[in-house]
Amino acid sequence: MEDLESYPVLLKASAVAVLCITLTAFLYGVTMNAKRRKLPPGPFPWPIIGNIPSVGTHPHQTYVDLAKKYGDIFTLYIGSARLVVVTNAALAKEVLLVQDAKFAHRPIYDLMYTCIKYLNPDGDSSFSCGLWGPKAREMRQICDRHFMLPRRVEATRSSRMEEVWRTVGLIEKQAQAGKPIDLRHQLEELALRLSCRSAFNKAFVGSEKSGDSTLSSDVFWRLGREHSKLLVEQNPSDVIPFLKPLGDVFGVNKKWQDVYFPFLESSSRLQDWYRKNAPNNADVEDELDLDYLEVLMRKAKEGSVPESAVNEQNVEVMIAGADTNAVTLEWSLLELLRHPDMMQKLRAEIDGKFGDSSPVEEESLVELSYLQSVVKETLRLHHPAPLSIPHYNTEDTMIGGYLIPAGTSIITDLYAIQRNPADWGEDALEFNPDRFLTKDVNVLGSSDLQYLPFSAGRRICPGRQIAVRGIALTLAALVHAFDWEAIPGHELSIVEAAGGLNCRPINALTLRALSRPHVSLYH
């Protein structure tokens, strides 16, 4: 009987408890919604996983669609990690230039923690990954002096021409044998050799079978492609905090170790080569007379640069420089094959300048306006790294009238910006080099950031000067020396391959090369 009498009391207590829980949940929801109203809008995140299902296999393309629904700045949640995406030039300028100091960091605490643990083991000495501070600034200054100063850019001109001539010779041999040209392979090896020659003034590249080289091109690119995929593959433990105690249950750390440690071993072998073969360079006073790696080794010996940073920066320069150049060259030749009239126009310009009396010379390429336009248009329409690496702020700020709380990862969608019809016209999605014949835009980027092939601000690509020279020289030489034909059954598709920081065509470019009389000029 007493149990029955106590039933209303229990019922009331339960009702009060349910009411309290409901009210708490309601107030929490109101509070969260109020905070979200201050943030850029975006799709509502799922519990635990956030908006991961919405991102898809080609995030830069997905973000264009999301921008149509939510505006040019919107918020996503990758697990628990907050990500803000900007998709127009004005907002990109705010992030990359106006408030550059606030957004100069990388998301080292979330979203990319596993990645940066391997790319930046010292924590703050990487000029491309991690927090931006005194060490990162010093590393960036060393890199800029070596790769941006006119004296250094000019000093590596002859090595660029040597490597391009070498590639022309290799293609000629295959063409004479009637073999199809695996152009992706040729361009990747060339890009790696150019990157090495810029940093070390020696290629250090050979075949995997020979075993006599410091760097194997085949191994490098096999690891490089996996490296590119890992850069955009979040470790679930990074974005879903309660998974951290499980350790490397998803195997992402193991993948990074398998990729990064061979790179470090190659870098160590490069240092050993310098210690053995260039000991007298220790007496050279002007660092501009030294190779990039020699400067880093000297700084490490002096104690101004961490030992770990030498290998780290060495690997960064090799990967970044080689990958983007190879991708851009493949896209440019693919588009020219898809537009024979443009190929003919480019060839006529090159022949008109060099004819059958001289191979293409780098110092004369600035006079070829259509060549420069083809390079610009390729970098615009097919940005080699359409999302780049996310930025990160360590203090609250405002962008576009919205709150960007400290600890937010922010992405500038370079793909969306450079394809924006409002800036580039109704044919923004078409390959049209002619637009740059009337549009005065520097190939390195525009001040309004409608065109930013190398990004902008503190994290801008340090090798941009050397990159555009190498791309223009290679493209001009290949068009000058050969006629190119598509092979039946090999589709010239502009569909992008999924996965990876750099976007390649889905099909590796394989063509038939027919030697022109000019090819003898490259012997």
Sequence length of the chain is 523
Q: How far apart are CA 274 and CA 290, in angstroms?
A: 11
CB contact at 8 A, 374 and 434: no
- Cβ neighbors of 40 (< 8 A, separation 6 or more) are 70, 71, 73, 74, 75, 84, 399, 400, 402, 404
Nearest to 115 by CA among 358, 357, 390, 322: 390
Helical H segments across 148-251, by residue range = 150-155, 157-176, 183-200, 217-231, 236-239
Q: How far apart are CA 201 and CA 293, in angstroms?
A: 10
Q: Tell me which DSSP letter residue 463 carries.
A: T
Q: How far apart are CA 110 and CA 184, in angstroms?
A: 35
CA 234 to chain centre: 16
Q: How far apart are CA 16 and CA 194, in angstroms?
A: 73
115 is in an annotated binding site: no
Q: Which residues lie across from 511 on neighbouring strands?
A: 181, 486
Give the residue carrying structure tokens 């996996």: 226
φ and ψ of 162, to 5 deg: -60, -45
Q: How far apart are CA 190 and CA 205, in angstroms?
A: 10
- SS3 for 62? helix
Strands 81-86 and 409-412, how do they pair?
parallel
φ and ψ of 510, to 5 deg: -120, 120
Q: Maximum Cα–Cα distance for the chain, whole Å?
A: 113
83 C-beta neighbours (distance < 10 Å), count: 24
Angle, nearest 10°, between helix axes 292-302 and 307-338?
A: 160
- The CA radius of gyration of the chain, in Å to the nearest whole number, is 26
Nearest to 142 by CA among 378, 310, 332, 366: 310
Which tokens belong to 480?
Answer: 């000058």
Q: How far apart are CA 48 and CA 80, in angstroms?
A: 7
Q: Tell me which DSSP letter residue 58 carries.
A: -
CB contact at 8 A, 402 and 364: no
Output the known binding site for heme.
Answer: 461
Binding site per annotation, positions: 461
